[in-house]
Structure 1
Amino acid sequence: MNNRLPPAWSKHLKVQTGPKPKFPQPNLPKANSLSRAQADEALLQQAYQFQQVKRLGEAQDLCLQVLARTPNHPLALYILGTVCLGYDDEAALRYFARAVGEEPKNPYYHLGLASAYVKVSEYSPAIRHMQYALELQPDLIEALCALGDAYIDFDKPEMALPLYEKALKINRDHPKVRIGLARALTSVGRMVEAAAYLQEAIERRIKVPAAYNDLVQTQKFTEEPKELKAILGELGNPKLEPDGAENLHLAAGKVLNDLKRYKDAFDHFNKSKQASGRNFDIDQYRRWIDSLIATFTPEMLAAKADYGNPSEIPVFVVGMPRSGTTLTEQICASHPDEHG
């Protein structure tokens, strides 16, 4: 889920200075005393607040209520996209695309659409929309870092470096900048520089769990480092969020694995998986494998032996990153008439 909203709307979302209720429910004026635009805005404020406490179904319902009254409301579409992102990425893609269609000069809508494209591993359109967001707002740090992340995932870390360096000049303390720059430096083998930025992030208490996890990847340990004690200390923080615990356990496990303390390492790796909330159902997986075996029998394959196209026109498998073409090439290579 993405909690980012355009700054033009942030004036409606000021944080309360008093104690927050468990589930914020602002008192909305009666609909008949408001104009349609004001009523829509009030509902979207409440939708955003529901989103913040992860009451996603209620946030979605309010956005759909706005769209029923004001079709193609761009902010309602955008919030729906942020609600769906990470849960239903295809739906998020559609909502963000509609928001962009309604308000094509809003850089945040393009950035949301780019984030959805990244989620479905469509890096080319993601990069295009990030670049356009930066054309609209060149100093938008979120777009600079997102484009840098995309280049790293697209195996082009050298193109990410100038983006993070620019972001660093704009705001050295932005939580995404040092971590992203360190990732790019690690990807091009500049481990010492990457470690220095990660140490700075830790000293400034910026995304500490992620920084420790990235820091321990920059070297192989042959003796117990001081970082291990610090990581274990961070794990004792009662206010630690689940994603922080996941990163810190991964970091501790990596150090212990380097030190060949495998039992302790796997204990941390298991705790990392537990903290992540992701579960693997081995019985369901076995049933899926059994169903594949039951379906693709020798008899079924023999019945399909005459299928295919007899044309002698060559077929080329063109490799594209993260698109499955390597697997396709390997499958084709098992055929006796395949060349390459």
Structure 2
Amino acid sequence: MQNSLTSRRKLPASEIVPVLKKGVAAQQAGDFTRAEFHYQTVLRDHPKYPDALNMMGTIALEAKKPAIASGYFRKALKQMPRNPIFLFNMGCAQLAEKKPQIAIETLRKVTLMQPEHAKSWVTLGQAEAALGKHAEALAAFDQAVTLRPDDMRLAVERAEVLVNLGQMQDAADIFRAAIRADVETSRAMIGLSMAHKFKPDDPEPALMTGLLDSDQLTAKIRRGLRYAAGKALADQKNYDAAFTQFVTAKDETGEKFAIDTHREAFAKRKEIFTAPFLEARSNLGSPSERPIFVVGMPRSGTTLTEQILASHPQIAGAGELSNIRMLAGDLGFGDIDRTRFGRSLEKLTEGQARKLASRYLAVLKRHSASAQRVVDKMPHNYELLGLIAILFPRAQIIHCQRDAMDTCVSCFTQHFSETHGYNADLRTLGQYYRAYDDLMAHWHTVLPGRILDSRYEDMIADQEAASRRLIAWTGLEWDDACLSFQNTERMVKTPSRWQVRQPIYKTSVKKWQNYAEHLGPLKQALGSLAE
């Protein structure tokens, strides 16, 4: 006789759909544990049932586990390879995995199969934008808007793409329409702050500060709105009130940054990358001259520099690429065992170095197949200039510099991601800047003649002379298009997206003085660099 404790009834095929419906109802109610129970009840006895696999993938996607989600969607598509719902969900997961090129291929299949599905066009636009394909991104969003012309939420999302494209007035008009309609109001106000320089009589800054009193805002939205309000108040020259918003945003987040641990990591970097160490590995990497690395502190002029370079007909701008850090991660950079990175570099062979370099060059090719040079303007690549020098001994490196006080204050007033934890308070920010300055001095010592320093203030004082110096450094002939960089149509997704659409202006020099009475901790931390 079978043990009743171990026996169970197999779920009959006739009950699969009702069980799945219970799972969907639970998921819609936010009870993901219960939903997963129902889906797994089906998969326990019918492990290849595509709808159950798909729904498990959607739970993983909502839990921000896109790699797991992709696995479920892949299994579902194996059973039904042309199911547009499964394909769309797979495209969403691929985009969440930061694989926009693959996501584009998947989502294009969906738009061909279901051209009336607006969300597919929206997600395709997001994937195109992630690759910097601004024309394609806008075309996808335009198609979505055609399908849902009255959807103000979609219009707001499209306006955010317009901001990145530099079409500020069109974007501002949409954001203001959303504010008037009270649709996505907080998001529209945040978008408007990026697209518009507020005048003294503009009503939106007061609306923003008023909205901050609402208890309906999520922590994330509240933080974004505080930065937007701070920027808007600063536009209106209400600097004390603006600074209060920035400080409150930091305090509400409660972020802390382990500056001592960070300085130890920089010291270890200097121990690894000595002049003899780099000289012994000077012939390992790729001979390619295609990459141009623009590095420096955020808000030091890296976006402006890239925009000037990318205005040259033989130079393409790829934006901020994370690939150098990813390659470093493969070698142990960021590992708990801090010795692994150095040990991997010590054993690095020519074949390994060329393979790593080829992977990076393939990324540049996706951004432009024809340009002689491609700019990677990830500011924090300054931390990895030793690795860059090994992988690309003939690549140009441009280091953007700006007045230390201006740089730090500009950072402090920006809504950076959590990866910029050093931006949490003025004292830590100043200490971080000193560590950055010290590491750059080291790179200049061990890589003599490899790095061009480009000062923001020199660019402001004489744009043509500074621009000619940049182009000469790349080895290309001068082109007058570099003087009209604000007219170059390309996706810009950094906080400087507004500035690079304007001609050179001098109001950003010594801008820190607007907040002078609040900056004691920063000045103290910077020491002589604040002078």
8 Å CA contact 1:134–1:140 kept in 2: the answer is: yes
How many Å apart are 1:294 and its aligned residue? Answer: 7.7
Distance 2:43 2:345 in 1: 52
From 151, 172, 187, the counterpart of 1:195: 172
Distance 1:304 1:127 in 2: 35
Match of 1:42 in 2: 18
How many Å apart are 1:51 and its aligned residue? Answer: 2.7
Q: For each residue in 1:197-244, what CA deviation from the matched residue of structure 2 results, as whole angstroms up to 9, or x when unmatched?
A: 222222233222211111111023353631122223333344444554
Match of 2:244 in 1: 264
Distance 1:147 1:302 in 2: 41
Q: Does 1:54 align with 2:30?
A: yes
From 76, 79, 83, the counterpart of 1:99: 76
Distance 2:247 2:11 in 1: 58
Match of 1:81 in 2: 57
How many Å apart are 1:145 and its aligned residue? Answer: 0.8
Distance 1:226 1:141 in 2: 34
Distance change in 2, residues 1:333/1:303 (3 Å): closer
Q: Does 1:320 align with 2:375?
A: no
Distance change in 2, residues 1:268/1:93 (3 Å): farther
Q: Match for 1:265: what amino acid?
A: Q
Match of 1:338 in 2: 393
Distance change in 2, residues 1:332/1:175 (3 Å): same
> What SS does the corresponding residue of 2:348 show, helix, strand or coil?
coil
How many Å apart are 1:247 and its aligned residue? Answer: 4.0
Aligned residue runs from structure 1 range 282-293, under 5 A: 282=257
CA-based RMSD of the aligned residues comes to 3.9
8 Å CA contact 1:253–1:268 kept in 2: the answer is: no
Match of 2:202 in 1: 225
Distance 2:54 2:189 in 1: 33
State which drifts further: 262-271 or 328-337.
328-337
Distance change in 2, residues 1:77/1:302 (3 Å): closer
8 Å CA contact 2:212–2:225 kept in 1: the answer is: yes
Q: Does 1:163 align with 2:206?
A: no
Match of 1:138 in 2: 115
How many Å apart are 1:320 and its aligned residue? Answer: 2.0
Q: For each residue in 1:124-176, what CA deviation from the matched residue of structure 2 results, as whole angstroms up to 9, or x when unmatched?
A: 11011111111110011101111111212211121122222222222123354
Distance 1:336 1:210 in 2: 42
Match of 2:527 in 1: none
8 Å CA contact 2:23–2:36 kept in 1: the answer is: yes
Q: Match for 2:245: what amino acid?
A: A
8 Å CA contact 2:11–2:45 kept in 1: the answer is: no
Distance 1:291 1:57 in 2: 41
Distance change in 2, residues 1:244/1:60 (3 Å): same
Distance 1:116 1:100 in 2: 13
How many Å apart are 1:123 and its aligned residue? Answer: 0.8
8 Å CA contact 1:148–1:160 kept in 2: the answer is: yes
Q: Does 1:154 align with 2:197?
A: no
8 Å CA contact 1:145–1:176 kept in 2: the answer is: no
Distance 2:51 2:171 in 1: 38
Distance change in 2, residues 1:68/1:202 (3 Å): same
Distance change in 2, residues 1:253/1:84 (3 Å): farther
Match of 2:157 in 1: 180
Q: For each residue in 1:90-125, what CA deviation from the matched residue of structure 2 results, as whole angstroms up to 9, or x when unmatched?
A: 101111222222222222221111111111211111
Larger Rg: 2
State which drifts further: 40-49 or 314-323.
314-323
- What TM-score, normalized by structure 1, do the two folds share? 0.73
Which structure has more strand as a fraction of its residues? 2
From 349, 363, 372, the counterpart of 1:309: 349
8 Å CA contact 1:333–1:339 kept in 2: the answer is: no
8 Å CA contact 1:56–1:83 kept in 2: the answer is: yes
Distance 2:265 2:342 in 1: 18
Match of 2:480 in 1: none
State which drifts further: 154-163 or 217-226.
217-226
How many Å apart are 1:337 and its aligned residue? Answer: 9.0
Distance 1:93 1:234 in 2: 39
> What SS does the corresponding residue of 2:176 show, helix, strand or coil?
helix
Any gaps of 5 or more consecutive residues in structure 2?
1-7, 275-338, 368-375, 396-531
Match of 1:69 in 2: 45
Distance change in 2, residues 1:281/1:96 (3 Å): farther
Q: Match for 1:40: what amino acid?
A: I
Size of the aligned set, in residue pairs, is 302
More contact order relative to length (CA 8 Å, sep ≥ 6)? 2
> What SS does the corresponding residue of 2:363 show, helix, strand or coil?
coil
8 Å CA contact 2:229–2:245 kept in 1: the answer is: yes
> What SS does the corresponding residue of 1:318 show, helix, strand or coil?
helix
Distance 2:392 2:169 in 1: 50
Distance 1:69 1:215 in 2: 53
State which drifts further: 110-119 or 247-256.
247-256
Q: Match for 1:67: what amino acid?
A: L
8 Å CA contact 2:11–2:42 kept in 1: the answer is: no
State which drifts further: 285-294 or 112-121.
285-294
Distance change in 2, residues 1:179/1:51 (3 Å): same
Identity %: 20
Distance 1:189 1:154 in 2: 17
Q: Does 1:115 align with 2:158?
A: no
Distance change in 2, residues 1:319/1:228 (3 Å): farther
